[in-house]
Structure 1
Amino acid sequence: MEEKVTKLVEWLREQVKTAQANGLIVGISGGIDSAVVAHLIKRAFPDNSLGVIMPCKSNPKDEEDALKVVESSGIDSITIDLTETHEKLFTQIKDKLKEQNKWNEQAVKMGDANTRARLRMTTLYAVANNFGYLVTGTDNAAEWHTGYFTKYGDGGVDLVPLVHFTKGEVRELAKTLGVPDEVIHKAPSAGLWEGQTDENEMGTTYDMIDKYLKGEEVPEYDRQIIENMHKRSEHKRRLAAAPPKF
């Protein structure tokens, strides 16, 4: 894993050089994936990397864990609380939907969660523009394959260094990099709502997705979930669709 870390760091430096950028930025959520990326970009650019913590109706424990990642990596960081911004924006959206009798409770709940992710990415790019940094994504192979990310949210980034690493491999990277144990063993969650976890929402586990991606046997139930998620999310892995030139 140390060899892979070295190659990732070299790759990150090459991407910044090619883009004629100044460094790298990442949103630090308090989860393992962003923790690994924070450590990687700090190694790649000790003096030109930044972590941004962006609470948005978040569990306070997530911010505590994010600060532990900042401490363990030594990365420069800022905190921008998006709770009030999100509340103002989404209250207006909900009010207009209710006025038009277009209210769909479940759909609005997901729209709320996706808006948080898109506000965070908007914030990252605003800060990145100030420094001339590239925005570094945190999606791993399991998330990328199943589409478990928000289009133009956490999926709207310049670089995806972990996209070929399974969740299990990300854990090994985290141990090699010195990510705090409590972050490594924390139940994966996007923090979308109280008690939400990735695996409960997906209906399968990262271990099952990892096995599937490695070509190993998985139960039929899990295989169908994984393949259905991949098919439904195909649009997320592509640029905006365009018609042929007439």
Structure 2
Amino acid sequence: MPKITLENLIRIDYEYVTQRIIDFIRSYVRDAGASGAVIGLSGGVDSSVTAYLLVKALGRDNVIGLILPYKTTPPEDIRDAKYVAETLGIKYYYIDIGRIRNAFAESIPGFDESDKIAVGNLLPRIRMTLLYYFANRFNKVVAGTGDKSELLIGYFTKYGDGGVDILPIGDLYKTQVRYLGKYLGLPDNIAFKPSSPRLWEGQTAEGELGVKYEDVDVILHALVDYRMSVEQAAEATGKPIELVQAVWRRVLNTEHKRKPPIVPRVSMRTLGIDWRMPVNKTGVSELME
């Protein structure tokens, strides 16, 4: 049984990864008939790396950044988001979403400020709406910034930061994204900044999860990429089996976030069950042959 270590996980060909993602972005945007991409810039490593990749793929004139802070956003995140936009030379818009969020609070009957999850998740859903406004306005696609770690453990808001067209770094674990950021030239204060969606005061990803991403990543690598059992993953990574079980439980319990809405079958062919769009999309005539 192979030993799964963080050192091995981050030892990937970052030149190949960069080119592969660049080709993917160019192909998707071209096939979509779009003129570029819109991205939300949080000042964190994921959005910063994704922005660098978008500019490499599409050119700075074809990328729009949105900086969308709320009062829970630390000043250093705003500073870092502006640094990325200005370093890359992309057009960006700064929109404080406080007034929009407060309009929801004033408009929703029985709005409960104490419900941290329901209230907090309004923020990424407001941001998603703004990203799609600009995407529609300027014929762009919305580039998401979720990484493989976040996607697998469901650490994103459904129809919030999960509501996007493409996920350029979605097959890279968080720690791999950090080192890709270094490869692309991000400063350490962004590449290795503690991750947080900043949905409430003092929130950090690792504090909420109760485990470091370095541990999450090697466990996921064993469970997902090597298809190990929980027991095998604990042995291969040297992590406590209780921790491995907790991570795997998050993967299982958040599967609904990674799937499109479920359709009940009542007809001959049902979307998402036994019908898929033909690969070459040549039309109905081919289907009827």
Q: TM-score range by the shorter chain?
A: over 0.9
Q: Which residue of 2 aligns with 1:69?
A: 84
Sequence identity (%): 38
Q: Which residue of 1 aligns with 2:68?
A: 54
Alignment of 1:87 onto 2:102: yes
Worse overlay, 148-157 or 228-237: 228-237
- For 1:17 and 1:192, the matched residues in 2 are separated by 34
1:148-193: CA deviations, max 9, x gaps?
Answer: 0000000000001111101111011101111222111211111111
1:21 Cα deviation from its structure 2 partner? 1.0
Alignment of 1:23 onto 2:36: yes
Identify the match of residue 237 of structure 1 among 258, 265, 289: 258
1:94-115: CA deviations, max 9, x gaps?
Answer: xx226xxxx593xx21111110
Q: Which residue of 1 aligns with 2:191?
A: 184
Q: What's the C-alpha RMSD, in Å, of the aligned pairs?
A: 1.5
- For 2:219 and 2:176, the matched residues in 1 are separated by 14
- For 1:81 and 1:219, the matched residues in 2 are separated by 43
> 2:179·2:191 contact (CA, 8 Å) conserved in 1?
no
Please state whether the residue corresponding to 1:214 is helix, strand or coil. helix
- For 1:142 and 1:37, the matched residues in 2 are separated by 15
> 2:113·2:119 contact (CA, 8 Å) conserved in 1?
no
> Taking structure 1 as the reference length, what is the TM-score of the superposition?
0.92
Please state whether the residue corresponding to 2:211 is helix, strand or coil. coil
- For 1:43 and 1:211, the matched residues in 2 are separated by 29
- For 2:185 and 2:65, the matched residues in 1 are separated by 16
Q: For residues 82-231 of structure 1, what are the structure 2 equivalents within 5 Å?
A: 82-93=97-108, 96-97=109-110, 105=114, 108-215=115-222, 216-217=236-237, 218-231=239-252
Please state whether the residue corresponding to 1:97 is helix, strand or coil. coil
The amino acid that maps onto 1:231 is L
> 2:135·2:142 contact (CA, 8 Å) conserved in 1?
yes
- For 2:216 and 2:191, the matched residues in 1 are separated by 18
User: Quick one: structure 1 residues 10 and 205, their matched pair in 2 at CA, closer, same or farther if it must change by over 3 Å?
Assistant: same
Query: Which structure would you say has the larger Rg?
Result: 2
Worse overlay, 50-59 or 35-44: 50-59
1:70-113: CA deviations, max 9, x gaps?
Answer: 133232211111111101212433xx226xxxx593xx211111
User: Quick one: structure 1 residues 104 and 82, their matched pair in 2 at CA, closer, same or farther if it must change by over 3 Å?
Assistant: closer
